[in-house]
């Protein structure tokens, strides 16, 4: 069985690897994904963008790639779209128009509940299976929408959690993100913070960065140990400072107390702040606010990411309450998602074969 896959982001491919382990051995991926999973039509490194401005610069490139995926859909038995709504939703509409009988599965849905809720009727009309990874997401869709909560993919990858915390912080993890722009903005502040705290520290660097990348983006890393395994490092550390993104939810689930920091390009932040009407940007905080009406951890964004603010939040952090909140969040998410998504993909395969 051939599945046309569109997985542009690194995090999407981490979840795709877990999913593949649950699928039958005769399932073949075609399309866009990590080279470890098969023969992708493009090197994922060429797709890396950060924010609205970068996306506009690469618009023509993405239109051509989108059209190529529509052509590939002809030979596919099913379509699997993962995250990246700016690319995947237009792709879904084109495929459904050209091949109305092709079954389209969307895994890790566009955050239409946060912005552009007008997308929801489009998703309901275009997608055959809406595989939601957020328990509250379904309430934003119509009663008869083809949506179900399938579990959360991070619970397929994270198997060890903190059961208790040390009396005092002896080791801190710093995670300045995976995009070059994020890293350049946060590293000077993180370095100053590390020197001020003077505590054993580890910096988590993405595995795919070359030595030249590390020198250019991070500079002198005196005072830091270097690690690449985020889950292991976060589990072993006592506290963390993390750039906004999936990593903040990983930390929330693992149970390591942390502070979220994020500095976007000014124009990107201006556009996003006008479009997205959310009190928080961290997924753990967003979910916790939904069912507990409060945040799990502090967030500092743009000009509020200062040495003074981060030090103050660190000193005032209630680590014990955070650990209990982490356990509550895991209960809320229930289980991983790979097994259910695999069963959706393999449903009705006798008709295909």
Could you give the domains of the chain? 2-153+336-352 (3.40.50.11010), 171-333 (3.40.50.2000)
pLDDT at residue 105, rounded to an integer: 98
Q: What is the pLDDT of residues 11-65, one digit of tens each?
A: 899 999 999 999 999 999 999 999 999 999 998 876 765 554 556 667 888 899 9
pLDDT at residue 111, rounded to an integer: 87
Give yes or no for a contact between 126 and 116, defined as CB atoms under 8 angstroms apart. Answer: no
Q: What is the pLDDT of residues 179-213, one digit of tens each?
A: 888 999 999 999 999 999 999 999 999 988 889 99
Q: Compute CA distances 174 → 200, 218, 251, 296, whole Å.
A: 11, 12, 12, 19
Q: How far apart are CA 38 and CA 36, in angstroms?
A: 6
Question: Has residue 242 got a pLDDT over 90?
Answer: yes
Q: With bands split at pLDDT 50, 70 and 90, how would you rate the model's confidence at 150?
A: very high
Q: How far apart are CA 229 and CA 250, in angstroms?
A: 12
Question: Has residue 269 got a pLDDT over 70?
Answer: no
Q: With bands split at pLDDT 50, 70 and 90, how would you rate the model's confidence at 277?
A: low
pLDDT at residue 115, rounded to an integer: 74
Q: With bands split at pLDDT 50, 70 and 90, how would you rate the model's confidence at 275?
A: low
Give yes or no for a contact between 82 and 5, defined as CB atoms under 8 angstroms apart. Answer: yes
Q: What is the pLDDT of residues 287-345, one digit of tens each?
A: 999 999 999 999 999 999 999 999 999 999 999 999 999 999 999 999 999 999 999 99
Question: Has residue 215 got a pLDDT over 90?
Answer: yes
Residue 305: which residues within 8 A CB-CB, separation 6 or more? Answer: 186, 189, 261, 262, 263
pLDDT at residue 55, rounded to an integer: 61
pLDDT at residue 271, rounded to an integer: 56
Q: With bands split at pLDDT 50, 70 and 90, how would you rate the model's confidence at 352?
A: low
Calculate mean pLDDT across residues 94-121. Answer: 92
Give yes or no for a contact between 240 and 280, defined as CB atoms under 8 angstroms apart. Answer: no
| Residue 97 CB coordination number (10 Å) | 10
- pTM score, whole prediction: 0.87
């Amino acid at each position: 069985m051939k599945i046309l896959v569109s997985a542009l982001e690194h995090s999407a491919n981490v979840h795709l690897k877990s999913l593949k382990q649950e699928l039958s051995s005769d399932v073949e991926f075609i399309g866009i994904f990590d080279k470890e999973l098969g023969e992708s039509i493009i090197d994922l490194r060429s797709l890396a963008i950060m924010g609205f401005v970068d996306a506009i610069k690469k618009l023509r490139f993405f239109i051509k790639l989108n059209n190529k995926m529509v052509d590939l859909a002809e030979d596919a038995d099913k379509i699997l779209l993962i995250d990246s709504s700016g690319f995947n939703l237009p792709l879904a509409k084109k495929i459904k128009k050209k091949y109305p009988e092709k079954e389209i599965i969307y895994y890790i849905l566009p955050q239409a509940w946060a912005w552009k809720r007008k997308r929801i009727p489009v998703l309901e009309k275009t997608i055959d299976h809406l595989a939601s990874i957020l328990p509250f997401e379904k309430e934003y869709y119509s009663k008869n929408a083809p949506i179900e909560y399938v579990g959360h993919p991070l619970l397929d990858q994270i198997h060890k959690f903190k059961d208790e915390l040390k009396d005092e912080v002896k080791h801190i993890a710093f995670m300045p993100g995976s995009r070059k722009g994020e890293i350049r903005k946060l590293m000077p502040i993180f370095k100053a913070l590390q020197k001020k705290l003077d505590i054993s520290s580890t910096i988590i660097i993405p595995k795919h960065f070359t030595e030249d990348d590390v020198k250019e983006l991070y500079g002198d890393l005196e005072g830091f140990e270097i690690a690449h395994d985020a889950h292991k490092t976060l589990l072993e550390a006592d506290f963390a400072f993390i750039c906004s993104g999936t990593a903040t939810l990983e930390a929330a689930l693992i149970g390591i107390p942390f502070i979220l920091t994020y500095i976007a390009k000014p124009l990107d932040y201006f556009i996003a702040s006008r479009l997205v009407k959310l009190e928080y940007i961290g997924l753990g905080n967003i979910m916790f606010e939904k069912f507990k009406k409060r945040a799990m951890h502090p967030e500092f964004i743009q000009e509020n990411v200062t040495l003074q603010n981060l030090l103050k939040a660190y000193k005032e952090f209630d680590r014990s309450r955070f650990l209990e909140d982490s356990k509550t969040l895991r209960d809320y998410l229930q289980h991983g998602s790979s097994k259910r998504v695999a069963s959706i993909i393999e449903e009705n395969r006798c008709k295909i074969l």
